[in-house]
Structure 1
Amino acid sequence: MMNFLVKTIANGAALAVAVWLVGGITLTGANAGEKTLTLLAVLLLFGVVNTVVKPVVKLLALPLFIVTLGLIALVVNALMLMVTSWLADSFELGFHVDGFWPALLGGMIISVVAWALHLAIPDRD
C-alpha cells in the first residue's frame, strides 16, 4: 500500500511538472490549496484512465505498436491525457489540455518524470 502511495505521489509530481512546463496544459484555482486539490482530483482521474482505458487502447493499437516499433505509445499517452482533460471538464475541474500537441508534449514529460522518479524510488519487491 505504501508503494502505491509513493508511486501515486510520483505521478502527481510528473503531472504537476507537465502543467508547469507546457503552455497548453492549464490547471486553474483561486489559490495554491485549491490548485492542489484540483491536481489530486485530476491525478485520480488520470489513474483511472490509465488503468481502465489505456490497456484497451493498447490492445486495439497492437499492430501500430509493432509497425512503429513502439513509438505509437507517445500518441497513446497523449490520448490518455486528452481523455483525462475531457473527464475533468465533465466534472468541472480546473484542468484543461488545449489540443493534441500540448498533450503529446505533456505525455512525454509525464513519462520521463515518472520514469525518473520511479528509478529514484524503486519497488520493495
Structure 2
Amino acid sequence: MKLLLRLLVTALAAMVTAYLLPGVRLKDFVTALILAVVLSLLNLLVKPILIIFTLPVTIITLGLFLLVINAIIILLASKLVDGFKVDGFWWALLFSLVLTIVSGIMNSIAGSSDND
C-alpha cells in the first residue's frame, strides 16, 4: 500500500514539476504514472550501476556528481516513456531537483515517510 501511495505522489509531483518547468512536457496523468514506475525501476536497477562506475568522480566532487547521474536517469526515462519529453541535460537536472523537492513535500503531507 505504501508503494502505491509513493507512486501516486511521485506521479502527481511529476505533473506539478512539468507544469512549472517550460523545458519539460508531460502529456497526462497516466503518462505520469508510467513515468513514476519507470523512474522507480531505473533508480532500482540502473542507478546503482552508474554510481559504482563513477565512484571515483563522485568522491572527488564530494557527491555532486550524483546530480549528473540523476539527470542521466531522467533523460533515459524520457527516451523510454512516450508523452514525456525533456529538452536537454540542464532541464533534466532542474527537473530532478524540483521533482525531489516537490515529492518530498507531498510525501510529508501524505504521511508516506520511510520511518512509518
- TM bucket (normalised to shorter chain) is 0.7 to 0.9
**Alignment match, 2:74:** 81
Q: CA RMSD for the aligned pairs?
A: 1.6
**Alignment match, 2:33:** 40
Q: Deviations over 1:23-43 (max 9, x none)?
A: 111123xxxxxx121211222
Q: Deviations over 1:56-100 (max 9, x none)?
A: 111111112211111111111111100000112xxxx21111110
**Alignment match, 1:16:** 15
TM-score (norm 1): 0.81
Unmatched tracts of structure 2, length 5 or more? none
User: 1: distance between equivalents of 2:48 and 2:57?
Assistant: 14
Unmatched tracts of structure 1, length 5 or more? 29-34
Structure 1 residues 43 and 100, CA, compared in 2 at 3 Å: closer, same or farther? same
Letter matched to residue 88 of structure 2: G
TM-score (norm 2): 0.87
Moved over 4 A (4+): none
Identity among equivalent pairs (%) = 34
**Alignment match, 2:2:** 3
User: 2: distance between equivalents of 1:111 and 1:12?
Assistant: 12
Secondary structure class of the residue paired with 2:46 = helix
1:61 to 34, 49, 54: 54
User: 1: distance between equivalents of 2:16 and 2:47?
Assistant: 21
Letter matched to residue 59 of structure 1: I
Letter matched to residue 12 of structure 2: A
